[in-house]
Amino acid sequence: MRNFHYPGRSNVLSTKGIAATSHPLASQEALSILKMGGNAIDAAIAASAVLCVVEPNATSIGGDCFAIIAPKGKNPVSYNGSGINPKKAKLSYFIENNIKKIELESPHSVTIPGAIKSWESMHLDYGKLDFEKLFIKAIEYAEDGFAITEKVAENWRENAIKLNKNINTKKIFLKNGKSYKFAEKHKNPALANTLKRISKKGSKEFYNSDITEDIVQTLNELGGLHTIDDFNMQKTIKSKTIFSPYKDTLLHQCPPNGPGITVLIMMKMMENYEVKNFSPMSFERFHLEAEITKLSYKLREERIGDPNFNELNLEEILSSHFLDNLIDNISMDSCHNVGNLNIPAHPETVYLTVVDKDLNLVSFINSVCYAFGSGITTNKTGILLQNRGVNFRIEENHPNSIDSLKRPLHTIIPGMVFNKEGEAIISYGVMGGQFQPVGHTHFLNNVIDYEMTVQEAIDFPRGFHFNNQYQLELGVSNDVEKKLNSVGHKTVRTKSPHGGGQAIKIDYKEGVLIGGSDPRKDGCALGL
């Protein structure tokens, strides 16, 4: 339990339903949907729609989505709503045109947005309320305006130069050429009209209508290769989750092209150490986390990509024999050098989770990749477009090499934890781009090994070893930092905290739902 002498948050408790999101308006809307008779799936979609309006820095209907749904707390299902690359965007095109990498604000960075298609797919499978009802509040906030929260205002300010580069973006997301500030109101009436149409006619209105034409025209004018046919080919991948045991639990993730496999690799490596024998705030814990991060991320860069384009033996990668060879590189007295992986950072995402009275669980994440995505907004429809294509590599024989209709290696990952009886006990996720697998591992160690509450586990200080720097939050002790440097780590104090996060735990014995939300963002957990 938390120390009440210090500022902090208490866990939120409920017996009838709970939602945890990165923005209070989204959490409120999720509860409103539950009160209306909707289930967790309805509530998650409605909350995400609100977030696409009130957190444009982090998400949009022009972005992607991944989710795990566990109906009545059992048999989890993965939904991969990541976007395909345009058909014309072949590796040969970029080589022939001497394009060495996909730039952050290039139309080539925009893959086909997958969010709306995935929302509809989830709703058709499990939703209770009419699809139209899930957009009411999002439309209202886009049409009438909403007040900008502190974290969102900070991201807005940091990206003012980017928002000035595109004429449509400048018109909608800047005020007299300057970023919107904390407590100022923002509106996007063009997006409100777009949401109205999607709510009434479904995903076909996004993927095959004049809305589609507007997106394609906007990108083509900037040199993009997108066509309406590309949008018609976008599909949501519904599948079984991938999972791996850890202690007395089963850890569930979405399959690649999501990076959930990295979490499973990291946790299997962690199981070779008795983490709980180290203090949560100790050199040993942070050093081990960094070394496992380096090896796991290197493996990901070398082996993981869209499985439709790469042979990928997940069973082999998760085998003890395979991982033991990696673990042999770890010493508690020195740092292993994996070289410069040169991985793009992109820190912006929204994560939410909802559990309803029937114990339907949703772990749900939606993103535009970098802050404000590509910075490209459509000419007429108010849609801010993602830049997930920056994850592609322009090099032959790389698992994440750019190609026609290929999905890039992703960063967004929803997670769930099950007990050995097959019951879901925790729905969780973290935000923060490439940090996410580390954030998952950190959270899981906190909950499972250190027996923290979900709020304590979310709050606990974080570090992230990334591109040869160990980026430590201010909450990591000076003593830990000194010891890390003494064995060869290059530590820095990160300007911004790592990501954010939400989680809900189910206490089956008491019939209680326990929720937490990260103070690193503006969100909250709310219960019925």
Active-site residue list: 349
DSSP for residue 62: B
d(CA 438, CA 205): 37
Q: How far apart are CA 68 and CA 364, in angstroms?
A: 7
In angstroms, the CA 205 to CA 199 distance is: 9
Amino acid in position 438 = V
Amino acid at 474: L
For residue 474, the SS3 value is: coil
H-helix or E-strand spanning residue 41? helix 40-54
Q: CA-to-CA distance for 296 and 435, rounded, in angstroms?
A: 12
Which residue type occupies 71?
A: P
Q: Nearest 5°: phi and psi at 233?
A: -85, -10
In this structure, are strands 512-517 and 12-14 parallel, antiparallel, or unpaired?
Answer: antiparallel
Closest CA to 14 of 514, 523, 522, 516: 514
Instruction: Answer yes or no: are the C-beta atoms of 29 and 103 closer than 8 Å.
Output: no
Residue with tokens 């007295």: 333
Would you say 250 and 418 are in contact if contact means Cβ atoms under 8 Å apart?
yes
